[in-house]
Structure 1
């Protein structure tokens, strides 16, 4: 069964990467094969928290997509698009930097999936106004969302899993992760002109036209905007305090969506048009395929080999976990990877006498998984969401177009993270 799970996953992955068939067909087809031949059953695929579809992710996305659908009717995205363009003086590069920084900061205090759902529509409108290709902007934003989300416990789903297993608090993540993420974000911002060279030429007439606009005139329904603002404040408060309230972010998003639908007075077709059904189904298929790798022991064996190779040396263990996590999180979704790797890291940390160095193993796992999620188009949930939004906007991002940029950023960010871990937990500890 292990060989079958690997074969199906590899074939589906190749089809997704080469775009020989639609990625939804590849993911659902692979999941269907695994279910049909009994590699996984309904219990593992639909009900298991460890190996099944992550319904929290699915319903978090669904709730936020509905909220975005209602919010779209207010004209606020047009407002922000014009405001950002005017503040950047119409320069596409400055617009990209501004949106990247907004995305990174927002991802730290919401989560990266929610952030890209809110920022992507603004980006599409900005690029349409300036007459530039939105693809580089969308890629830059999703890369920054994964970097910024790594800074806090709630910013990236793998961090929540790590915090639960290791007993780490919100403040622990701020103290240990935020400093290096600030450095990573500065470096990422500095390389944007090189990474997306040739993407910053805009039509001067279009720039002049945007600069002459009054962004306040873009608001079409101010009363609905106030309602959306109040609901979003409640949702964001729920996201930030979900561990204290003991309410999962998915429930917060669905409650917010439900309340907003009730008070908006809109018809279902007005807000349901923003739901990315293809993206949700793609996630379901991907979760089942990765769950099969977990069920059959493939990921556990790979992680076990990595931990066995450390030989009891804490520094070797930290660097190996960082590197292996970056690669594997880029190839499979980083959520199931971290869920599988966490018990192994816990076991390895228990065998290290120095508590500071033992905790460094958790930070290497978090950095490797969060930053490694940038490597490919399926490495993190935010990546898949943005690709779905781009496809619906008829500006599709290919697997390799994303991966070429994402792999460069992953290598750079991991190279920066390695000396940080060494210096902070082994030299200065």
Structure 2
């Protein structure tokens, strides 16, 4: 028995050469076309009626004047009758190339479907009368993506503004290609789960840092190592790696960089090599958990990856073994790189940064002296200049007094540090410590199906709300002011950009090229080739561009490969390869990771600047080895 179904399209655009049809239902992958006994045939007809159809009127056979088949036949394999409603629904799409026909004012397009299935077949059908020309879309998408990476690499403008411009440009290109998304669609492209997780962890760490626990921990490390160079470096590196496991490594870099610089000044060590070692361990430690590194946040928050069974516990378990082995190997390489501890010592009588600070202070003092007090606005500016001068004087004192501190013995240095960096608020420390412990415990319990429905982002947000209630202070605005809103906006812009690039066809094209490489090898070697491709492509690219936009693109490619029934690849091994490549690849250059850039910026504010090539000298050496 054969069943027919027709779907009438009444509004035909002026330029009608292609028609994109998307079907969802109990379908089979295309390579089952010659194996399945049941199939669905789809084609397009042009029907001319005796009179124009009204908006609510149906097409009647008695009114048909002419019927013309204007497309090829698309054969879609179907499951058997007893599997309908049991197997998961499959999406397929096909672009019909419409043949030339004479358009009539009474003409309509009709999507015709024919099946030999002897049962009800529920289908979801979406059509697009003006689909994007994928050849043009891929070129436009590639130009936008290359432009974004070039702006980030050469720091033409701030990366958040660059991402906003790129996402706006991508939406404009879609509009020019007659595929303009609605505002509701654009909002749906933003992964709220990821933004919630980042916002919540930033807020938690901001409140936690007000207790003074991080400064106190650094002093404790100085005490335990008894002021010896390598034990102190090891303590700083492994402490940074440990904190990066549970805190965002960007936040860890913000907290640990000033502490590391202070301890290096006390120990008469050059801060730059120690900072580079610390930030390398920050990227390594951040790879172990889904919340330790922004690429991991993007990976773990992806709905397809979460549905494959990747939760907080499984992610940490699989990544932990590789991270521990990598930490040991990097430690050995660092010890070989700094075999002579004298290479870490200060050499100049007065560093160049001190002289630059003196000149900058003089400029700010002259600017403040020139400001009058005739108006309230000028008074505010004058006070701001004075505060800036005071802050620079403090940096100058730290930079010029380090030799006096270094001449003290270990006991005097330890006493000074303990007096300067005590626990500021024990009550807040207990509250924030218990809240952070509760949140991290719930993260690990997400392997339980009943708890996994909540999501990492909402779990962290509930913990943040709890801590804000326990904080019990009126200056909550100061906490929110220290949240990195530019980073959150950067992520939101990237989500919009990547979805727009996917609609232009770039993601599918890259996935198709990767699939072609994988299909060129034998069946038993395809998984190994896929893992190596994703690992090294993400690692090499992350060494020279920010790994956040790269991961956003690569996670789409990994899910596309796993969804391809012909390849039959499991998703989880591809996830681990992407996580290792994106996180470890960030150690290659200064721009490879957001935490690298944050550390360099904070260090420069303290008078210790290191360049792209200086970081590359250390980072790329470890990266290659």
Query: Is 1:87 equivalent to 2:224 in the alignment?
Result: yes
Aligned-partner Cα distance in 1 for 2:432–2:155: 38
Is residue 2:515 matched to residue 1:307? yes
Please, which of 145, 150, 161 is the counterpart of residue 25 of structure 1? 161
Question: How far is 1:301 from its partner?
Answer: 1.9
The correspondence for 1:346, drawn from 556, 562, 567, is 562
Q: 1:9 aligns with which of 122, 133, 145?
A: 145
In the alignment, the residues of structure 2 paired with residue 38 and residue 359 of structure 1 have an alpha-carbon distance, to the nearest angstrom, of: 33
1:418 counterpart residue number: none
Distance 1:392 1:177, change over 3 A: same
Higher relative contact order (CA 8 A, sep 6+): 1
Structure 1 residues 64 and 79: CA distance shift in structure 2, 3 A: same
Answer yes or no: is 1:200 the counterpart of 2:404.
no
Query: 2-side partners of 1:375 and 1:44: how far apart?
Result: 37
**Does the CA contact (< 8 Å) of 1:79 and 1:219 recur in 2?**
yes
Determine if the alignment matches structure 1 residue 212 to structure 2 residue 415: yes
2-side partners of 1:177 and 1:140: how far apart?
21
TM-score, length of structure 2 as denominator length: 0.55
**Deviates most, 243-252 or 361-370:** 361-370
Kindly indicate whether the alpha-carbon contact (under 8 Å) linking 1:144 and 1:185 is maintained by their aligned counterparts in 2.
yes
1:340-370 C-alpha deviation (Å, 9 max, x unpaired) = 12334425797479x9xx9755544443344
SS in 2 for 1:218: coil
Q: Deviations over 1:36-57 (max 9, x none)?
A: 4446744554312xxx4x3333
Q: Mapping of 1:10-409 within 5 angstroms? A: 10-38=146-174, 41=181, 42-43=183-184, 45-48=186-189, 52=190, 54-91=191-228, 93-108=230-245, 110=246, 113=248, 115-118=249-252, 120-131=254-265, 137=274, 139-151=276-288, 156-157=296-297, 160=300, 161=302, 164=306, 166-167=308-309, 176-192=318-334, 200-201=344-345, 203=402, 205-206=404-405, 208=410, 210-213=413-416, 215=418, 218-244=422-448, 245-246=451-452, 247-266=454-473, 267-310=475-518, 311-313=520-522, 314=525, 315-328=528-541, 331=545, 333=548, 334-347=550-563, 351=567, 363-375=576-588, 406-409=619-622
8 Å CA contact retained: 2:587, 2:593 = yes
1:79 to partner: Cα distance: 0.8
Q: 1:36 to 1:352 in 2, by over 3 A?
A: closer
Relative to structure 1, the CA distance from residue 273 to residue 206 in structure 2 (aligned partners, 3 Å threshold; closer, same or farther) is: farther
Please report how far the alpha carbon of residue 218 of structure 1 lies from its aligned counterpart in structure 2 after TM superposition. 1.0
2:313–2:447 contact (8 Å) kept in structure 1 = no
Tell me the distance in 1 between the aligned counterparts of 2:153 and 2:337.
21
Is the Cα–Cα contact under 8 Å of residues 590 and 615 in structure 2 kept in the other structure?
yes
How much does 1:118 deviate? 4.3
Aligned CA-pair RMSD = 3.9
Check 1:179–1:75 CA distance in 2 against 1; reply closer, same or farther (3 A cut): closer
The CA distance in 2 between the partners of 1:194 and 1:158, in whole Å, is 35
For the Cα contact (< 8 Å) 1:165–1:342, is it kept in 2? Answer: no
Is the 1:276–1:389 Cα contact (8 Å) retained in structure 2? Answer: no
What's the CA shift string for 1:172-201, capped at 9, x where partnerless? 656654333322111122233577899833
- Which residue of the partner structure matches residue 415 of structure 1? none
- 8 Å Cα contact 1:129-1:206 kept in structure 2: no
Deviation by residue 1:240-298 (Cα, 9 ceiling, x = unmatched): 22343222222222222222222212212332342122222233333333443333232
Q: Structure 1: where are the runs of 5+ without partners? A: 413-429
Residue aligned with 1:275, SS: coil
> How far 1:338 moved relative to its partner?
4.2
Q: Give the conservation status (yes or no) of the 8 Å contact 2:539–2:581.
A: yes
The structure with the largest helix share of the pair is: 1
- Which structure is higher in strand share? 2
245-254 or 122-131, larger mean C-alpha shift? 122-131
**Mapped contact 2:213–2:423 kept (Cα < 8 A):** yes
Residues in 2 aligned to 1:86 and 1:321: alpha-carbon distance in whole angstroms:
44
Tell me how far apart the structure 2 counterparts of residues 297 and 405 of structure 1 sit (CA, whole Å): 38
In structure 2, what is the Cα distance between the partners aligned to 1:43 and 1:214? 54
Distance 1:192 1:283, change over 3 A: farther
For residues 96 and 222 of structure 1, what CA distance do their matches in structure 2 show?
28
Match of 1:425 in 2: none
Alpha-carbon shift at residue 32 of structure 1 (Å):
2.7
Distance 1:309 1:105, change over 3 A: same
Whether contact under 8 Å (1:117, 1:386) holds in the other structure is: no
CA gap 1:248/1:234 in 2 versus in 1, 3 angstroms: same
